[in-house]
Chains A and B, each alone.
Chain A
Amino acid sequence: ETGVTQSPTHLIKTRGQQVTLRCSSQSGHNTVSWYQQALGQGPQFIFQYYREEENGRGNFPPRFSGLQFPNYSSELNVNALELDDSALYLCASSLVGGAKEQYFGPGTRLTVT
Protein backbone atom coordinates (compact mmCIF):
# COMPACT_ATOMS: atom_id res chain seq x y z
CA GLU A 1 0.00 0.00 0.00
CA THR A 2 1.53 3.30 -1.12
CA GLY A 3 1.17 6.25 1.23
CA VAL A 4 0.45 9.88 0.41
CA THR A 5 3.29 11.57 -1.44
CA GLN A 6 3.86 15.25 -2.18
CA SER A 7 6.21 17.16 -4.41
CA PRO A 8 8.32 19.16 -4.22
CA THR A 9 9.60 18.89 -0.65
CA HIS A 10 10.79 22.47 -0.49
CA LEU A 11 10.20 25.47 -2.72
CA ILE A 12 11.31 29.10 -2.72
CA LYS A 13 9.33 31.64 -4.72
CA THR A 14 9.21 35.40 -5.07
CA ARG A 15 6.21 37.53 -4.17
CA GLY A 16 3.81 37.80 -7.12
CA GLN A 17 4.84 34.49 -8.68
CA GLN A 18 2.64 31.44 -9.13
CA VAL A 19 3.23 27.95 -7.68
CA THR A 20 1.85 24.45 -8.25
CA LEU A 21 2.10 21.77 -5.59
CA ARG A 22 1.33 18.11 -6.25
CA CYS A 23 -0.11 15.27 -4.23
CA SER A 24 -0.61 11.57 -4.90
CA SER A 25 -3.26 10.04 -2.69
CA GLN A 26 -2.98 6.76 -0.85
CA SER A 27 -3.95 3.74 -2.92
CA GLY A 28 -7.73 3.26 -2.91
CA HIS A 29 -8.54 6.74 -1.58
CA ASN A 30 -10.92 8.95 -3.58
CA THR A 31 -10.78 12.20 -1.61
CA VAL A 32 -7.98 14.73 -1.25
CA SER A 33 -7.87 17.67 1.15
CA TRP A 34 -5.32 20.47 1.24
CA TYR A 35 -4.21 22.35 4.35
CA GLN A 36 -1.92 25.27 5.07
CA GLN A 37 0.11 25.12 8.29
CA ALA A 38 1.95 28.22 9.44
CA LEU A 39 4.75 27.80 11.95
CA GLY A 40 3.43 27.03 15.43
CA GLN A 41 -0.19 26.78 14.24
CA GLY A 42 -2.59 23.98 13.45
CA PRO A 43 -3.33 23.13 9.81
CA GLN A 44 -5.96 25.34 8.16
CA PHE A 45 -8.37 23.74 5.68
CA ILE A 46 -8.04 25.13 2.15
CA PHE A 47 -10.33 22.84 0.12
CA GLN A 48 -11.27 19.24 -0.54
CA TYR A 49 -11.79 17.33 -3.79
CA TYR A 50 -13.96 14.25 -4.21
CA ARG A 51 -14.27 12.54 -7.58
CA GLU A 52 -12.67 15.53 -9.33
CA GLU A 53 -15.16 18.05 -7.88
CA GLU A 54 -14.58 20.57 -5.09
CA ASN A 55 -16.33 19.21 -1.99
CA GLY A 56 -15.86 22.07 0.46
CA ARG A 57 -13.66 25.11 0.83
CA GLY A 58 -12.17 26.97 3.77
CA ASN A 59 -11.63 30.69 4.18
CA PHE A 60 -9.03 31.14 1.45
CA PRO A 61 -9.15 33.62 -1.46
CA PRO A 62 -9.80 32.53 -5.07
CA ARG A 63 -6.10 32.75 -5.92
CA PHE A 64 -5.90 29.37 -4.18
CA SER A 65 -7.26 26.84 -6.64
CA GLY A 66 -7.05 23.12 -7.15
CA LEU A 67 -7.61 20.13 -9.37
CA GLN A 68 -8.18 16.45 -8.88
CA PHE A 69 -7.38 14.00 -11.65
CA PRO A 70 -9.09 10.70 -12.59
CA ASN A 71 -6.40 8.77 -10.70
CA TYR A 72 -7.33 10.88 -7.61
CA SER A 73 -4.02 12.73 -7.51
CA SER A 74 -4.33 16.46 -6.97
CA GLU A 75 -2.72 19.85 -7.51
CA LEU A 76 -2.84 23.03 -5.46
CA ASN A 77 -2.19 26.23 -7.37
CA VAL A 78 -1.51 29.57 -5.75
CA ASN A 79 -1.37 32.73 -7.85
CA ALA A 80 0.05 36.14 -6.98
CA LEU A 81 2.06 34.79 -4.05
CA GLU A 82 2.22 36.88 -0.89
CA LEU A 83 4.75 36.74 1.93
CA ASP A 84 2.07 35.32 4.25
CA ASP A 85 1.69 32.32 1.96
CA SER A 86 4.95 31.00 3.39
CA ALA A 87 3.92 27.80 5.18
CA LEU A 88 3.89 24.03 5.13
CA TYR A 89 1.25 22.78 2.69
CA LEU A 90 -0.18 19.42 3.63
CA CYS A 91 -2.20 17.08 1.48
CA ALA A 92 -4.39 14.41 3.06
CA SER A 93 -6.28 11.58 1.43
CA SER A 94 -9.29 9.64 2.66
CA LEU A 95 -12.05 7.36 1.45
CA VAL A 96 -15.60 8.66 1.44
CA GLY A 97 -17.79 5.84 2.67
CA GLY A 98 -14.84 4.23 4.41
CA ALA A 99 -12.87 4.91 7.54
CA LYS A 100 -13.05 8.47 8.81
CA GLU A 101 -9.37 9.25 9.26
CA GLN A 102 -7.32 11.23 6.81
CA TYR A 103 -3.78 10.22 5.92
CA PHE A 104 -1.35 13.10 5.55
CA GLY A 105 1.58 13.44 3.23
CA PRO A 106 4.93 14.84 4.39
CA GLY A 107 4.10 18.31 3.10
CA THR A 108 5.70 20.93 0.89
CA ARG A 109 7.53 23.76 2.63
CA LEU A 110 6.91 26.94 0.63
CA THR A 111 8.95 30.06 1.30
CA VAL A 112 7.93 33.33 -0.37
CA THR A 113 10.55 36.09 -0.40
Chain B
Amino acid sequence: GQNIDQPTEMTATEGAIVQINCTYQTSGFNGLFWYQQHAGEAPTFLSYNVLDGLEEKGRFSSFLSRSKGYSYLLLKELQMKDSASYLCAVGLNSGYALNFGKGTSLLVTP
Protein backbone atom coordinates (compact mmCIF):
# COMPACT_ATOMS: atom_id res chain seq x y z
CA GLY B 1 0.00 0.00 0.00
CA GLN B 2 0.92 3.64 -0.02
CA ASN B 3 0.83 6.37 2.61
CA ILE B 4 1.29 10.03 1.73
CA ASP B 5 1.55 12.74 4.37
CA GLN B 6 1.50 16.50 3.98
CA PRO B 7 0.50 19.35 6.30
CA THR B 8 -3.20 20.16 6.39
CA GLU B 9 -2.92 23.94 6.32
CA MET B 10 -0.31 26.65 5.83
CA THR B 11 -0.45 30.43 5.79
CA ALA B 12 2.06 32.77 4.14
CA THR B 13 2.35 36.41 3.18
CA GLU B 14 2.12 37.83 -0.31
CA GLY B 15 5.61 38.13 -1.83
CA ALA B 16 7.12 35.56 0.52
CA ILE B 17 8.42 32.02 -0.11
CA VAL B 18 6.66 28.90 1.18
CA GLN B 19 7.74 25.25 1.22
CA ILE B 20 5.15 22.47 1.34
CA ASN B 21 6.55 19.13 2.40
CA CYS B 22 5.37 15.67 1.47
CA THR B 23 6.52 12.29 2.72
CA TYR B 24 5.50 8.99 1.23
CA GLN B 25 5.79 5.27 1.77
CA THR B 26 5.10 3.18 -1.28
CA SER B 27 5.44 -0.35 -2.60
CA GLY B 28 5.82 0.97 -6.13
CA PHE B 29 6.90 4.31 -7.57
CA ASN B 30 6.32 5.95 -10.91
CA GLY B 31 7.22 9.52 -10.09
CA LEU B 32 6.14 12.21 -7.65
CA PHE B 33 3.60 14.77 -8.82
CA TRP B 34 2.31 18.07 -7.48
CA TYR B 35 -1.09 19.43 -8.44
CA GLN B 36 -2.85 22.68 -7.55
CA GLN B 37 -6.58 22.74 -6.88
CA HIS B 38 -8.57 25.92 -6.37
CA ALA B 39 -11.82 25.58 -4.46
CA GLY B 40 -14.56 24.12 -6.64
CA GLU B 41 -12.20 23.46 -9.54
CA ALA B 42 -10.32 20.48 -10.99
CA PRO B 43 -6.69 19.80 -10.07
CA THR B 44 -4.10 21.22 -12.46
CA PHE B 45 -0.60 19.81 -13.00
CA LEU B 46 2.35 21.70 -11.49
CA SER B 47 5.37 19.40 -11.53
CA TYR B 48 6.77 15.89 -11.94
CA ASN B 49 9.92 14.39 -10.41
CA VAL B 50 11.19 10.88 -11.07
CA LEU B 51 14.90 11.37 -10.32
CA ASP B 52 16.40 12.90 -7.17
CA GLY B 53 16.96 16.61 -7.24
CA LEU B 54 15.30 19.92 -7.92
CA GLU B 55 13.05 20.76 -10.86
CA GLU B 56 12.42 24.48 -11.41
CA LYS B 57 9.56 25.96 -13.40
CA GLY B 58 9.12 29.69 -13.01
CA ARG B 59 8.00 30.59 -9.49
CA PHE B 60 7.46 26.92 -8.63
CA SER B 61 10.16 24.34 -7.83
CA SER B 62 9.85 20.73 -6.70
CA PHE B 63 12.42 18.53 -5.00
CA LEU B 64 12.59 14.76 -4.63
CA SER B 65 14.65 12.39 -2.49
CA ARG B 66 13.65 8.81 -3.28
CA SER B 67 15.84 7.29 -0.56
CA LYS B 68 14.09 9.42 2.07
CA GLY B 69 10.61 9.18 0.56
CA TYR B 70 10.45 12.96 0.63
CA SER B 71 9.44 15.78 -1.66
CA TYR B 72 8.72 19.45 -1.33
CA LEU B 73 7.07 22.12 -3.43
CA LEU B 74 8.61 25.58 -3.20
CA LEU B 75 6.55 28.60 -4.17
CA LYS B 76 8.37 31.92 -4.57
CA GLU B 77 7.06 35.48 -4.80
CA LEU B 78 3.68 34.40 -3.51
CA GLN B 79 0.61 35.95 -5.06
CA MET B 80 -2.94 36.05 -3.73
CA LYS B 81 -4.03 33.73 -6.55
CA ASP B 82 -1.71 31.04 -5.12
CA SER B 83 -4.25 30.46 -2.33
CA ALA B 84 -5.35 26.92 -3.12
CA SER B 85 -4.96 23.30 -2.10
CA TYR B 86 -1.66 21.68 -3.11
CA LEU B 87 -1.81 17.95 -3.69
CA CYS B 88 1.19 15.63 -3.52
CA ALA B 89 0.73 12.40 -5.47
CA VAL B 90 2.70 9.26 -6.30
CA GLY B 91 2.45 7.68 -9.74
CA LEU B 92 1.00 4.17 -9.45
CA ASN B 93 1.59 2.44 -12.74
CA SER B 94 2.73 2.76 -16.31
CA GLY B 95 -0.31 4.89 -17.02
CA TYR B 96 0.61 7.27 -14.20
CA ALA B 97 -2.60 6.82 -12.25
CA LEU B 98 -2.11 8.76 -9.05
CA ASN B 99 -2.29 8.13 -5.33
CA PHE B 100 -2.94 11.53 -3.77
CA GLY B 101 -2.30 12.86 -0.31
CA LYS B 102 -5.07 14.78 1.44
CA GLY B 103 -3.71 18.10 0.24
CA THR B 104 -2.29 21.20 1.91
CA SER B 105 -4.57 24.23 2.00
CA LEU B 106 -2.41 27.33 1.48
CA LEU B 107 -3.74 30.75 2.40
CA VAL B 108 -1.82 33.75 1.10
CA THR B 109 -2.49 36.93 3.09
CA PRO B 110 -1.79 40.55 2.13
Contact = CB atoms under 8 A, between A and B. Distances in A.
Contacts, number: 67
Interface string A26-49: 000001010100001111110010
Nearest to B47: A101
A102 B87 contact: no
Interface residues of B, number: 25
Interface residues of A, number: 25
B76 interface: no
Grouping DSSP codes into helix (H, G, I), strand (E, B) and loop, the B interface class, with mixed when no group exceeds half, is loop
A43 B100 contact: yes
A56 B45 contact: no
Given A41-B103, A102-B96, A106-B41, 18 more contacts: A33-B95, A41-B102, A42-B87, A42-B101, A43-B43, A45-B97, A48-B97, A55-B93, A55-B94, A55-B97, A96-B94, A96-B95, A101-B48, A101-B96, A103-B45, A104-B42, A104-B44, A105-B42
Interface of B: 4, 31, 33, 41-45, 48, 50, 87, 89, 91-103
